[in-house]
Chain A
Amino acid sequence: RKEVEQDPGPFNVPEGATVAFNCTYSNSASQSFFWYRQDCRKEPKLLMSVYSSGNEDGRFTAQLNRASQYISLLIRDSKLSDSATYLCVVNPRASGGSYIPTFGRGTSLIVHP
């Protein structure tokens, strides 16, 4: 099983739709979680951190479920500009006690008119 797995894409949704992505992780000692957005041929940009209590930033909501070892990202009222690849990042504990940031392969979102 891969350390970090994401929903297969692409997700193709109309403007105004609500869409959710999940990301599962295998290392239960993982301590920090993030969602990044990556536009085609650009660098990843931090979208939001994911906290145990869940957090919201405008149309975006992130949740962490430690018991089931997954994080989620919900996008409400999708805009054309939301079209991008969404990457989850998990910091699992590596040997020696260090934390190696591990990215999922990303989920592609296409929002159409």
Chain B
Amino acid sequence: DAGVTQSPTHLIKTRGQQVTLRCSPKSGHDTVSWYQQALGQGPQFIFQYYEEEERQRGNFPDRFSGHQFPNYSSELNVNALLLGDSALYLCASRAGTGWAEQYFGPGTRLTVT
């Protein structure tokens, strides 16, 4: 049973560029959430997707957008990258939109130079 997978593992981008990160949820899970974790901080909730729609959103600007596909996989897009966007981006999946435990992927480490 595959867990949550993410790609790529590492990424280096330049300020102003755009980036797309990908996530495949754990088998049986249909809800995907994205988090940003800066060094020394806890993960911060970006948004959650369920049934191919954004259901909840944290305090992130519109430069952060996402998508969920019919097979429940998801993408996170960040436009006009800033140095402050450098972080570990984590994807988490769960079954349904309730309060069930969520399971994290290994993350994508994004460095913006």
Chain A residues with a Cβ under 8 A of chain B: 4, 31-32, 34, 42-46, 49, 87, 91, 94, 98-106
Contacts and interface: CB of A to CB of B under 8 A. Distances in A.
Given A43-B106, A94-B56, A103 B99 contact: no
Contacts of A103: 35, 42-45
Interface residues of B, number: 20
Nearest to A105: B42
A49 B101 contact: yes
Interface of B: 33, 35, 40-45, 55-56, 58, 90, 99, 101-107
Contacts of B41: 105-106
13 contacts: A31-B99, A34-B101, A43-B90, A43-B105, A44-B43, A44-B104, A45-B104, A49-B101, A100-B58, A102-B45, A103-B43, A103-B44, A105-B40
Main secondary structure of the interface of B (DSSP, over half): loop
A99 B100 CA distance: 12
A43 B103 CA distance: 9
Main secondary structure of the interface of A (DSSP, over half): loop
A73 to B, nearest CB: 15
Nearest to B41: A105
A31 B100 CA distance: 11
Contact of B107 (A43, A45, A49, A104): A43
A44 B55 contact: no
Interface hub of A42, A44, A102 (most chain B Cβ within 10 A): A44
Given A99-B56, A101-B102, A102-B45, 6 more contacts: A44-B104, A46-B102, A99-B99, A103-B43, A105-B40, A105-B42
Nearest to A43: B104
Contacts of A87: 42-43
Given A43-B90, A44-B43, A103-B42, A98 B55 contact: yes
B56 A98 contact: yes
